[in-house]
Amino acid sequence: MAGSGFRYRPEILDEIKEEDIMYLKEYEDWFVLESDQLKKITDHFVKELEKGLTKEGGNIVSFGPNLDQVTTPMNVTWVMGFPSGHETGRILTLDMGGTNLRVCDVCLSTRKRDFEQTQRKYKLPDEVKTGTGEQLWDFIAGRLETFLHEHHNGGRTGTTLPLSFTFSFPVDQKSIRSGVLQRWTKNFNVTGVEGQDIIPQLEAAFQRKNLPVRIVALINDTTGTLIASHYRDPQVKVGSIFSTGCNAAYMEECELIPKLADSGLPKNAKVIINTEYGAFDNDRKILPLTPFDRQIDHESARPGTQIYEKMVSGLYIGEMLRLIMLKLHEEGRLFKDQDVTRLRNENALEASFLSVAEMDFSDRLDDMREEFEESLGLSPSLHELRICRYLIGLVATRAARLYACGIAAICKKKNLRRCHIGVDGSVFNRYSGFKGRAAQALREIFDWPPTELELIALNAFEDGSGVGAALAAALVLEGEEKAKPL
């Protein structure tokens, strides 16, 4: 009986008591997305991607007081081609993501499609994410200084080292060496940077420390992933990140970009577009928001922005689960007579909490119980754990299915029926089951018969963005070399 009327894994409900099944139905109605809905969302998504390429859509101010006016920005990256595979040189890369700063020394070898890299990762402290611009840039310059001391003879090589900066936030670029931050995402809230070109700010911090580096390229992490994964597998047509944030980039024909009409580029030119589609549906036309989505948006650093990202990405799915469990506690359904102080703490749960729970296939759910104990100081009954596991499945499955809509939209727009998608990001790489759910959603959106293989395959490309950034810089340096007078 348990499964009657339920669409999400009805077999799990056999383990859950009947009185709980009644209220779980409401959660299922909120979170389950049927194939038809996915198709409608994808079609609307295609229109939004098109709109972002137009002058009107692309010109909407996306920083300052009009934050809610943002469409999908479709930012032009000025990366005008893929590397040939013969690029050479030694390039430093800095990658500022949502959680970590990575410094990398990449050596592109003369052997085609080969490279070596030395890498260091530093966690970005919360106070840096919410302080002043100067503090942020000084933190980055400080880590680079340490790295140069450890791996590059203190940078004292007598020459200025070329550096490529991967900045995982939306920027409006007039060239590959500049970028005005449109707005902070992923709950960053650093003052004095939105609406400003970030390159002079970072260069000033390098100068304060006398670092012998020269910024040659500014790229997004999705652009880096696209370049790096295409370098290894030319079948890759879209680069995507699924991690703290969520986004994708692809190569577009310049003649299909109305906002570039006056740029004087040759008709056959191509450029990588960083879609910044985390901002999809900021005008709230299609995504079925639950009360929890509204609450997350309301309590975020930039309400009204990144609506799609807030429904799917790693930064928010833990918080989504926390809000749901807290509501059920307050209704007297979960964790009765337990101390829920830690459950009340904002952002108490990371995406890995959900992943551990879903990986626990034991009868007594011991790993999951340990995770509740460690992260929240709670000792739930087996029955409560089962309910939570069901809810986790709902939240994570919705995230994966919505994620597939963005990828499907790019493929539909570009008429890509068969290709590979290069995906990087800790949640994609470590959340077992995520990829399978997203692949299933693609199958439903495109109506591939069960006998057909995945025509659009999501392939993990771990740590690609360092190499991608180095390759982007190598392309710029090659161009500079060619432009030199003989």
Residues that bind ligand BGC (CB under 6 A): 97-98, 168-170, 185-186, 220-222, 241, 243, 245-247, 276, 278, 309
How near is the Cβ of 104 to ligand BGC at its closest, in Å?
Answer: 16
Helix axes 314-330, 382-413, angle to 10 degrees: 140
**97 vs 393, beta carbon nearer ligand BGC:** 97
Name residue 188's amino acid.
F
How near is the Cβ of 382 to ligand BGC at its closest, in Å?
Answer: 37
Question: CA 280, CA 302: separation in Å to the nearest integer?
Answer: 15
Residue of 62, 102, 172, 183 marked active site: 183
Nearest residue to 394 via CA among 29, 22, 44, 31: 31
Nearest residue to 378 via CA among 433, 321, 430: 321
**184 vs 335, beta carbon nearer ligand BGC:** 184
**186 vs 389, beta carbon nearer ligand BGC:** 186
Residue 160 DSSP label:
P
Residue of 164, 168, 426, 465 marked active site: 168
Report the relative pairing of strands 213-219 and 75-76 from DSSP bridges: unpaired
How near is the Cβ of 119 to ligand BGC at its closest, in Å?
Answer: 18
How near is the Cβ of 246 to ligand BGC at its closest, in Å?
Answer: 6
Q: 295 and 366 in contact (C-beta within 8 Å)?
A: no
Q: What are the CA-CA distances from residue 19 to residues 16, 143, 323, 386, 387 (Å)? A: 9, 55, 21, 14, 12
Catalytic, 221? Answer: yes
SS3 329: helix
**397 vs 426, beta carbon nearer ligand BGC:** 426
Q: 386 and 365 in contact (C-beta within 8 Å)?
A: yes
How near is the Cβ of 103 to ligand BGC at its closest, in Å?
Answer: 17
Length of the chain: 486
How near is the Cβ of 313 to ligand BGC at its closest, in Å?
Answer: 7
How near is the Cβ of 81 to ligand BGC at its closest, in Å?
Answer: 21
**76 vs 376, beta carbon nearer ligand BGC:** 76
**278 vs 466, beta carbon nearer ligand BGC:** 278
Position closest to ligand BGC via CB: 245
**49 vs 368, beta carbon nearer ligand BGC:** 49
Q: Give how far the C-alpha of residue 258 lies from the chain's centroid of Cα atoms, to the nearest Å.
A: 26
**138 vs 309, beta carbon nearer ligand BGC:** 309
Annotate 33-67 with b (16+ C-beta within 10 A) or e (fewer): beeebbbebbebbbebbbebbeeebbeeebbeeeb
Residue for token pair 């611009």: 133
Residue of 95, 138, 197, 221 marked active site: 221
How near is the Cβ of 26 to ligand BGC at its closest, in Å?
Answer: 30
Q: Is 365 left (phi over 0), alpha (psi -120 to 50) or beta?
A: left
Catalytic, 424? Answer: no
Question: CA 208, CA 211: separation in Å to the nearest integer?
Answer: 8
| DSSP track, 419-436 | EEEEEE-HHHHHSTTHHH
Q: How many Cβ atoms are within 10 Å of 288's Cβ, its own excluded?
A: 15
Q: How many Cβ atoms are within 10 Å of 159's Cβ, its own excluded?
A: 9
Query: Would you please indicate which residues are annotated as catalytic (active-site) residues?
Result: 168, 183, 221
